[in-house]
Structure 1
Amino acid sequence: MEEHLTMPTHKCHEAKESEGQTTSGIAALSAGAAMLQSFKPLGGICEALCGLHLYPEDPKRQVIAYHYCHVIDEDRRQCLLYDSDSVDAKLIGVEYVISEKLFKSLDDNEKKYWHSHKYEVESGLLVQVSKSLVPETVVQAAELVALQALVNTYGKTIQLWPVDDQGECSSKVPTGPPQVLFSFTRDDQVNPDLLARRDQQMGISTAAKRKEREGKIQGNPVAEGADQWLKGNPWQIYDEGSHVSVKKV
């Protein structure tokens, strides 16, 4: 086991000098932006999903992540991650999602940064973010198709805004180096309180989602090289003062 500097896990307190207010000038600029500027890269976003991630060196540290994804092609997606689905949500990270075929083509060193999605999908942990007025039967049908396309994929998640002990991004600004996050592979890894909070936010039941998918979505066995945090090989990025390095925990 290599020596490393541990990241602080205490609650980050919001700076008191600002209440997050928006001036009239900034509001006017934001209102006029759609008429004056181009946002073409964001136009490709066509999937909205919600799941949970964990820190591999401290699996009890977990975060709810809302994913807004652009499907580049059948082998690749790129997702912006937010801490909620509200208009003032914090952009907390990114996730790259690739097919099983593409994952297997990676070298062994690269594979250690990637996690599987099999458990997330089959367990009901990963769900679509749907509009409130869409009928539940329509949501279920669309979700089964979307999640079947994701069950055999692999993700590389970079968290940019650290979470506190309650799984909240409570600091005023993102602090510290980026962190590599992973996903879950068993029921006993998931913080039940955080999952209950997610379900309440979305008005869903993860248990019901799991039951809906039984016999309808079944992933392939997880490819060798993924989920290495489970095998005693978690990797993380550490700030050592003069430089940032990636080390085995």
Structure 2
Amino acid sequence: MSACAKSSENENSSIAGGDRTTKSKVLETGAGLVQDFTPVKQICAHLNAFHVYANDRTRCVEANHYCTHLTEDVRQCLIYDSPDAKARLIGVEYMVSPRVFKTLPAEERKLWHTHEFEVKSGMLIMPAPASMPNAAWEAAETAEMEDVAPIYGKTYHFWQVDRGDVVPMGPPQLMGSFGSEDDVKKARPGGLDELLRERDERFGVDYKAKAKKREGIAAVEKHPDADTMWNKSE
């Protein structure tokens, strides 16, 4: 098992149960035509990055975020192991603005992570629609990254697909984000190049080019309580 599971490694992984029956497919199709899916229809962004286990920094997993903006200060994201039709829902992430974060109790703030390195390194991407001109999408993505860089995230994963679980097992796992190249090397000795090579090929992107485009994003003043989840595991 690799230190960081990617969606391409998970596509053929076992999932408990057999293939859906014709009856199930018919019922699902009918329900899909008549039921109201308002909450999930509010999803407005797909972000891709990697989450690292708070209790084991040698383990990480690819995370496809499908996010809703509840307010200007609060976002919520469903986390899937891939962007495919049979993707597994592996976790959730909540994101809040610095204004909200500083109002949280000190012990609560220790459960939250930052996004600046993900953004500025080019690790965090918004996969582009096939029909969108690249230049236009890059501009939109960079603008979104400016908004994401200063916000804080709280993430729990329920399904540890990187260890081959066929259903979610055990307690939820607190997850964090990589904060430096040295952090990445704890999970992948080759650093960002090793971690992102296959992901970039799959989505047709270049993290180094994205990092270059994001050099103008302002530095973030990180709250000292953020990213301190690691202190308990080191």
What TM-score does the superposition give when structure 2 sets the normalisation length? 0.86
**Structure with greater helix percent:** 2
Tell me, in whole angstroms, the C-alpha distance in 1 between the residues paired with 2:72 and 2:15: 46
Q: Which residue of 1 aligns with 2:175?
A: 181
Q: Which residue of 2 aligns with 1:75?
A: 73
Give the C-alpha shift of residue 29 in structure 1: 1.5
Which amino acid in structure 2 is aligned with residue 171 of structure 1? D
Tell me, in whole angstroms, the C-alpha distance in 2 between the residues paired with 1:155 and 1:16: 28
Superposed, 1:34-49 pairs within 5 Å as 34-49=32-47
Query: Counterpart of 1:156 in 2: which secondary structure?
Result: strand
Once structures 1 and 2 are overlaid, which stretch shifts more, 93-102 or 119-128?
A: 119-128
Which amino acid in structure 1 is aligned with residue 106 of structure 2? D
Task: Render the CA deviation track for 1:145-195: whole Å, top value 9, x for unaligned.
Answer: 111111110000010101435xxxx32211111000000110122234332
Q: Structure 1 unaligned segments of length 5 or more: list them.
A: 1-12, 235-248
Larger radius of gyration: 1
Change (3 A) 1:86 1:105: same
Q: Structure 2 unaligned segments of length 5 or more: list them.
A: 1-11
**Structure with greater strand percent:** 1
1:222 and 2:222 correspond: yes
Q: Percent identity?
A: 39
1:207 and 2:231 correspond: no
Tell me, in whole angstroms, the C-alpha distance in 1 between the residues paired with 2:160 and 2:199: 18
Which amino acid in structure 2 is aligned with residue 179 of structure 1? Q
Task: Render the CA deviation track for 1:119-169: whole Å, top value 9, x for unaligned.
Answer: 11111111102212211101101101111111110000010101435xxxx
Change (3 A) 1:147 1:16: closer
Tell me, in whole angstroms, the C-alpha distance in 2 between the residues paired with 1:180 and 1:55: 6
CA RMSD between the two structures: 2.2
Tell me, in whole angstroms, the C-alpha distance in 1 between the residues paired with 2:120 and 2:195: 19
Task: Render the CA deviation track for 1:63-109: whole Å, top value 9, x for unaligned.
Answer: 00000000001100000000000011000000000001111111111
Q: Which residue of 2 aligns with 1:9?
A: none
Change (3 A) 1:33 1:102: same
Which amino acid in structure 1 is aligned with residue 143 of structure 2? V
Q: In the alignment, which of 52, 58, 66 is matched to residue 54 of structure 1? A: 52
Change (3 A) 1:134 1:114: same
Give the C-alpha shift of residue 207 in structure 1: 1.1
